[in-house]
Amino acid sequence: MRESVELQEVVITARRREERLQDAPISVSAVAGQVLAVERLDRVADYSAKISNFNALQQNTRVSTVTIRGVGGNANSDGSEAGVGLIVDNVFFTHPGFSWLDFVDLASVEVARGPQGTLLGKNTTIGAVIVTTQRPSFTPEATLSATIANHHRYQIRANLSGPLSDRVAGRLTLYGDTSDGWITNGPTGDGYLDTGRWAVRGQLLYEGDALSNRLIVEQYGTREFNNFYPPVGDPLTFVNGAPRNGWARKLQTGFGYVPSYEVEDANLDTQERLVSRTTGLSNQADWRLGDHTLTSVTAWRKLYFRPRNDGDNSPFPIFHAGYDVDVDQYSQELRLASPSSGVLDYQVGVFLLRQDVTSNFRTPFYAGATAFFLNPALPALILDGVEANQLGEAKTLSGAVFGQATWRPTERAALTVGARYTRERKEASNAATSFGGVPLTGALASLQAYRAAVAGPTFLVSEESEDGSVSWLINPSYKVSRDILAYASIGYGEKSGAANLGAKPGDRVIIDPEKSTDFELGLKTTWLDGRATLNGNLYWNDIEDYQATLSDTRGATSRSYLANVGKVRMQGVELEGQLQATAELNLSFSAALNDARYVSYPSAPVPQEYAFPGAPGAVDLSDTRVPNAPRFTGQVSARYERPLAAGGTAFAYGNQTWRSDTFSHALSAYGRQDGYGLTNVGLGYRTDGERYAVQIWARNLFDERYAAAFGLAGASTPYIAILGEPRTFGVTLTAKPF
């Protein structure tokens, strides 16, 4: 009898229904939670090891961003929403900082490409990441996993689930992760880029005759030195040869210090661990009303973030800089779904959201600030003890009605259409103040002008807006044969006008919405009697009034703010496939060629080395690549499992990724990263019934040193790198008592 070697069926929920991945006529990728756990893919950024044309930059809790097809960020902008939405257990989260979390105890992760909104929570212009955690089980189960790794890393995960009554089940998930970091700070001996995370999630699931209700309460916390961004350069001259009084020259003039650009040479005196907390509460109720289902998702999420950055990147007490961020989000979704069988099925719903954001850019100055910003001959008391604040606040009220329907005129043909109308009201403001320091009165009054030149003026700017938008989708598909599905789609979506929480007098406080039109053409195919799949997709996505972060280098310290910068276009091809070569060996791959570029960007900021006196204040970057958007991404993976004659199963995996070159600014020689690849491997053994397992593993096996991204230089700050993780290796022990 021939042994069955068919691929395991992949079920997705990207269209708010359970359906086979091969039957969904959309561009979507999925990874099972078990694969993520075994291969140590803990963070959102790690998902790119399995999914091409996807990336996440997780510089810290606030500066986190998720990109699809090279675009989607708005990292470093608290008043904006991400172009790529994050949906966790059917709850849409607006602030990019929520993607910083380690989402443990997962059932699956899906990445849906293209504008979303006719079904998935709030509008997005580029796509969505859909995270689903494990539900409570009515069968008792428990898992305990402990990991020891290099850099004194210790990790523990525990899950306990089971029935509390005939109708109620519970699940408790605990997580802790610590390490010493892999870069030592010279002045203090602290270990930078360490790990200090914990999480707890409790769930209750009620299953009645006509009602299912899932309640989730969770909290995540971090306390880490993940705010280390080493300097990688600071030009002493402009491109025309004129001397430049930037960060490096200020340190030389004021302190006789020549900075190092070796990325592992940390020399900071006032750096402290950043602290963040995320607290969440959600409830999903599903009522079975005859053959229809009414779903209610009610949620609250709170983000707390406090950085303690050594803003001058030096061993001298000059200044701190960072954004204290608080986010409160409340959402309510109601959705009515028809049966999925038959000629016509549909879903209609209502989505309501309130979000309050406070973002306070704090810059405390210390004893060395006067020498650095002004002149070492001036008294230190001019700036010592002074603090400059810019307090940005944004309030959003959003309401939407949406619907999506699929009509199947024949067994092979289907047409899906969707529409959404959203109405939003925003209020935003930014208030600048300064305080502290020695009073500059009497004989010291003449020094006040120096202080004001650095601390900046006091001001308040504010704006209100209210507008509506329509999103839509047209998505025909045709089953060419039992094993070939062809589809096309045209979708339009808008991302609401963002609040510019760094606005100064004369700047717009609320900028225009971002508008995305996306064209997709794809095939999903199955081969070798179910042993293999090969899917391909062509796309063309135009984004008008693209929202991006600009840097303003006027004044003593640079600032970032939002603007509509022009038009962006992404076009390319995506491929992915799997092969169950034998009963023991599974092979998979994904690859993407992507051209993401500015169609128009006539007034882009110039990099610091081009900002010489008399130079143009802006540069035309039209028809240049979007920063940090690689032309090629790809990965291949292999998993092997073999039962042993003595009992139990040996298993192994390997995963190789590739990513082509990127840059931070098209004109600058700084902030460029060559293409690189990362290799992850693991080898393990588990007993029959998976009662016990042991695994040795390595990530970035060949210790590739690279930057995940770069930060542009400012008037008083250097070009910086956000470092990728070096080689990590360890052993994981897992036990399932029942």
Query: What DSSP letter does each residue of 518-563 carry, written as one string?
Result: EEEEEEEEEEGGGTEEEEEEEEEEEEES-EEEEEE--SSS-EEEEE
pLDDT > 70 fraction of the chain, expressed in percent and rounded: 97
pLDDT > 90 fraction of the chain, expressed in percent and rounded: 81
DSSP three-state, residue 473:
strand
| Residue 301 to residue 316: CA distance in whole angstroms | 38
Q: What pLDDT score does 3 carry?
A: 53
pLDDT at 240 over 60: yes
The total of structural domains in the chain comes to 1
Residue that is written with structure tokens 């608080």 in the block: 326
Q: What pLDDT score does 547 carry?
A: 86
Residue that is written with structure tokens 């661990």 in the block: 273
pLDDT at 282 over 50: yes
The answer to which of 121-125, 194-198, 208-212, 730-734 has the lowest mean pLDDT is 121-125
For the chain, the helix, strand and coil percentages under 3-state DSSP, each to the nearest 5 = 10, 55, 35
What residues form DSSP beta bridges with 497? none
Within-domain flag for 6: no
433 burial type by CB count under 10 A (0-12 exposed, 13-18 middle, 19+ buried): middle
Confidence of residue 2 (pLDDT cuts 50, 70, 90): very low
Alpha helix (H) ranges present in 162-234?
none
- Mean per-residue pLDDT, 178-201: 95
Judge whether 20 and 13 are in contact, CB under 8 Å.
no
Q: What pLDDT score does 395 carry?
A: 96
Q: Which residues contact 187 (CB under 8 A, 6 or more apart)?
A: 267, 268, 269, 315
Within-domain flag for 290: yes
Alpha helix (H) ranges present in 374-527?
448-455
Q: What pLDDT score does 605 carry?
A: 86
Q: What pLDDT score does 63 carry?
A: 77
Q: What pLDDT score does 76 carry?
A: 63
Work out whether the CA dihedral 119, 122, 127, 130 comes out positive or negative. Answer: negative
Q: Which two tokens stand for residue 380?
A: 């230190």
Q: pLDDT (tens digit, 9 = 90+) per residue, 631-658? A: 999 999 999 999 999 999 999 999 999 9
617 burial type by CB count under 10 A (0-12 exposed, 13-18 middle, 19+ buried): exposed
Q: What pLDDT score does 60 carry?
A: 78
Mean of the per-residue pLDDT values of the chain: 93
pLDDT at 65 over 90: no
Higher pLDDT, 66 or 168: 168
pLDDT at 74 over 70: no
Judge whether 74 and 129 are in contact, CB under 8 Å.
no
Task: Write out the residue range of the structural domain in which residue 59 sits.
Answer: 11-735
- Mean per-residue pLDDT, 455-462: 95
- Mean per-residue pLDDT, 235-249: 96
Judge whether 558 and 715 are in contact, CB under 8 Å.
yes
Within-domain flag for 310: yes
| Residue 131 to residue 66: CA distance in whole angstroms | 13
Q: pLDDT (tens digit, 9 = 90+) per residue, 534-569? A: 999 999 999 999 988 765 545 444 555 678 888 999
Within-domain flag for 1: no
Q: pLDDT (tens digit, 9 = 90+) per residue, 84-112? A: 889 999 999 888 888 888 888 999 999 99
Q: What pLDDT score does 4 carry?
A: 60
| Residue 21 to residue 9: CA distance in whole angstroms | 8
Q: Which two tokens stand for residue 531?
A: 């042993």
Identify each DSSP E strand in 266-343 by its residue range. Answer: 274-289, 292-306, 322-337
* pTM of this structure: 0.94
| Residue 407 to residue 419: CA distance in whole angstroms | 15
Q: Which two tokens stand for residue 443?
A: 């004989």
Phi-psi region of 46 (alpha: psi -120 to 50; beta: other; left: phi over 0): alpha
Q: Which two tokens stand for residue 172?
A: 């408790």
The CATH number of whichever domain residue 22 belongs to comes to 2.40.170.20
Widest Cα–Cα separation across the chain? 100
Within-domain flag for 549: yes
Within-domain flag for 4: no
The answer to which of 127-136, 464-473, 501-510, 719-728 has the lowest mean pLDDT is 501-510
* N-terminal to C-terminal alpha carbon distance within the chain: 34
Within-domain flag for 316: yes
Which amino acid does the sequence have at 493?
G
Q: What pLDDT score does 155 carry?
A: 97
Look at strands 84-88 and 127-133 and give their pairing: parallel
CB atoms under 10 Å from CB of 35, counted, come to 20
Confidence of residue 388 (pLDDT cuts 50, 70, 90): very high
DSSP three-state, residue 252:
helix
Judge whether 595 and 572 are in contact, CB under 8 Å.
yes
Q: Residue 371 is inside which H or E element, if any? A: helix 369-373
Q: pLDDT (tens digit, 9 = 90+) per residue, 680-710? A: 999 999 999 899 999 999 999 999 999 999 9
Minimal CA–CA distance to 49: which of 696, 700, 702?
700
Within-domain flag for 179: yes
| Residue 18 to residue 447: CA distance in whole angstroms | 69
